[in-house]
A and B are shown apart, each in its own frame.
Chain A
Amino acid sequence: MPQHNSERRLASGNEAVAQAALDAGVSLGTGYPGTPSTEILEAFDAIGGRAQWAPNEKVALEVGIGAAFAGARALVTMKHVGLNVAADPLFTVAYTGVTGGLVIVSADDPGMASSQNEQDNRRFAVAAGLPMLEPSDSQEAYDFTLLAIEISERWHIPVLLRMTTRVCHSATLVQTKGQLAPPSQPNFVRDVPGRVMIPAYARPAHHRLRAKLAEIAAWNESDGPIQVVDGDRALGIITSGISYQHVREAAPRARVLKIGLSYPLPVEAMRRFAAGVDRCLVVEEGDPFLYEAARTAGIAVEQKPEMYRFGELNVGRVRRIVAGDVSPEPALPAGKPPELCPGCPHRNVFEALRDLGCIVAGDIGCYTLGVLPPFSAMDTCVCMGAAIGVGLGLRHSLPPEQARKVVSVIGDSTFVHSGITGLVEMVYNPPATGHVLVILDNGTTAMTGMQEHPGTGRRLDHEPTGRVVFEDLARTLGIKNIHIVDPVADEQAIERVLREALARDELSVIIARRPCLLAAGAIKIREKKANAGK
């Protein structure tokens, strides 16, 4: 049963966002799994919210927009690179605005604990023109989710909630508020000039957006989530998000200006703060976002040395920033790197790719570990779905003897996320030497912790639903050579089928299908349950 009473508990930032969404009457949570954001929707489902996985972040955001147009409150979650995928609807929903509250979580990963880049999505807030809140712990993750809904409904604008790895995955104390006033009943009210972005309607919509942002900026100055911690005027620090926590510990005597709404910034509050201290330093993780905004406004502030732009901040690094220490940082001993599990069905596939000397255009998932010894069988990994496009580009451009070795390798969840359009490209613009696509179908989104996806035929809560069948899809798109192999049951099969496909100068799709070892038990139980229900 959902929790409705106010309570104090230890919760991760992700759990706190889910609890706030439930307490605020969010009627739909949608997203695509991605570390460190994944647990938000899982927690929302576990406490009684309606949560669902979308094929990718763009679709998730579009579904969220529809819900918000209907007047419902919606939560859309993704990791930082997911917002790149969702950027197209993001930039235009800023123009249309929303009716019900729409909160978009961007979980950034400074230090790249489990990501391919450490982009700073505060830049997206500026680029799209959307307000962005940055919590620094689980309490603020809870409070700012509620505040995001409030801002969203007051100004009819989607709000970005920027979490970072340490806020998502650290457990800290949270005082919840209990169930809040529910939103009004969803009801369709036609608003053609507001929601149909043809140029004639989009031009005034852009003006409306800038006017809203000006109002929100003024509100941020007077009533926004700004916190000033009194301290010695010798050192003032402007900060936001998790960096605030490190600052309080590393510089306990400093005066601190903590910014909660990072866009539009409370520039005048920053100016007053800087004028009241002898030395004003900006401490922020990632890009010099606050620093550049302060300097543009003509505020005299000091920034962190460039070396601290890379990786996460922590108490030790903030002490060094305060001291202006740019000496090399002591390296900690390297731990044991992750590897493909013993018995992982991907192992045989990567052994075959290695033994056949393939040029492998890879993708994002556990199987990216195929790049490491003893396989060393991956040559590119750029973003979700890139295996296919990059593989095709290599085939088009390399001399034929090299082109014939190129194979695209993609996981099942990644294929659904953004590999399908790549497969369409493969049919539409086939290389002269043909191409070989291997879909590693282990029946789950293993990397992020065994989430369902449209290819499993089960929903986020593991109940049965419609299933996208990869071989049927490939056949419908016009692929003639389709092979399904179990890389564990028949260890030789994958190498044999790969060798044949590479010799063919045609388009081939090989589906290496075997459940992930870690998920196999649960999958079997769920399949049995689904069959019993038929």
Chain B
Amino acid sequence: MPESSSVVNVVVAGLGGQGVLKASGILADTAFRAGLDVKKSEIHGMSQRGGSVSSDVRFGERVFSPMVPAGEADFLVVLTVSQIEVARPMLKAGGVLIHPGLVDETRLANKRSLNVALLGALARQLNLAENLWHAAIKAALPEKLHAANLQAFAIGKNP
């Protein structure tokens, strides 16, 4: 019997151009590197034009639907304050909201790394090894951005 309670549900939300899909991709890759079943879902197209964007990542022993059911996200990562209320119904009662207020943005070497910094904040809550996160970040970004994003991840993880 499938045991959905063993699945971790994460929703990443923000606006087009903020790196929502990059962040969900890094998270999914980290879980994949940990040997877990992973599914990641997102919507392309019209949403690219500055509209709301969200992406679901689910991982565990066995994942079926690629989409997190509304009200069942264990973690909601929101990249911009304006989208918190839009995305909040995805979060389960007692779920954890990861928002920009958790990161001191002035410490980021590159402001565009906020998405990765918030993954650092998420990493504190998840049982995924640090080296897997680092490998996934490096795999997702060109080499010239590695240092800034590893720094951002560290700031999010150890504020």
- Inter-chain CA distance A169–B42, complex, in Å, is 6
Q: Using a CB-CB cutoff of 8 Å, which residues 328-343 of chain A contact chain B?
A: 330, 332-341
The answer to whether B50 and A314 touch across the interface, beta carbons within 8 angstroms, is: no
- A166 and B86 contacting across the interface, CB-CB below 8 Å: no
List residues of B (18-51) whose CB comes within 8 Å of A's CBs.
25, 28-29, 32, 37-51
Q: Which residues of B lie under 8 Å from residue A339 when comparing CB positions?
A: 49-51
Contact (A336, B51) CB under 8 Å given A170-B40, A170-B41, A171-B39: yes
Q: Which residues of B contact A170 (CB under 8 A)?
A: 39-42, 66
Whether A172 lies near B66 (C-beta < 8 A) is yes
Count class of interface residues, chain B: 35 or more
Contact for B45 among A35, A330, A341, CB less than 8 A: A35
On whether the beta carbons of B65 and A336 are closer than 8 Å, the reply is no
The listed residue with most A CB atoms (<10 A of its CB), out of B37, B54, B66, is B66
Q: Say yes or no for A393: interface residue by CB 8 A criterion.
A: no
Complex formed: what's the CA distance from A315 to B82 in Å? Answer: 27
Task: Tell yes or no: A114 within 8 A of B by CB.
Answer: yes
B69 & A314 in contact (Cβ 8 Å cutoff): yes
C-alpha gap A477/B43 in the complex (Å): 40
* CB atoms of A114 and B44 under 8 A apart: yes
Nearest CB to that of B40 among chain A residues?
A171
**B95: interface (CB < 8 Å):** no
* Distance of A7 from chain B, by nearest CB (Å): 12
**Chain A binding surface SS class:** loop
Question: Which residue of B4, B39, B46, B65 is within 8 Å of A314 (Cβ)?
Answer: B65
Interface size on A, residues (CB 8 A): 40
User: A173 contacts the other chain (Cβ, under 8 Å)?
Assistant: yes
Other-chain residue from B2, B38, B40 in contact with A248 (beta carbon distance below 8 A)? B2
A316 at the interface (CB under 8 A from B): yes
Given contacts A172-B38, A339-B51, contact A245 B64 (CB under 8 A): yes
> Residue on B with the closest CB to A344?
B49
A369 to B82 Cα, complex, angstroms: 22
Would you call A35 and B69 a contact (CB within 8 A)? no
Residue of chain A at shortest CB distance from B49: A338
Point out the residues of chain A lying under 8 angstroms from B4, CB to CB. Answer: 249, 252
Q: Of B16, B39, B44, which is within 8 A of A35 by CB?
A: B44
Chain B residues 79 to 117 lying within 8 A of chain A, measured CB to CB, are 82-83, 85-86, 88-89
Does residue A380 face the partner (Cβ distance < 8 Å to B)? no
**Other 19 A-B pairs with CB < 8 A, given A245-B66, A248-B64, A369-B49:** A10-B28, A35-B44, A36-B44, A165-B43, A166-B41, A166-B66, A170-B39, A170-B66, A171-B41, A246-B65, A248-B2, A252-B1, A252-B4, A332-B89, A335-B86, A336-B15, A338-B46, A338-B51, A447-B45
Identify 19 residue pairs between A and B in the complex whose beta-carbon atoms are under 8 Å apart, listed by A's number: A10-B40, A113-B45, A114-B44, A114-B45, A114-B47, A169-B44, A170-B42, A245-B64, A245-B65, A245-B66, A246-B67, A249-B4, A334-B86, A335-B51, A336-B52, A338-B48, A366-B49, A447-B45, A447-B46
Binding site for B on A (CB under 8 A): 9-10, 35-36, 113-114, 137, 165-166, 169-173, 242, 245-246, 248-249, 252-253, 314-316, 330, 332-341, 366, 369, 447-449
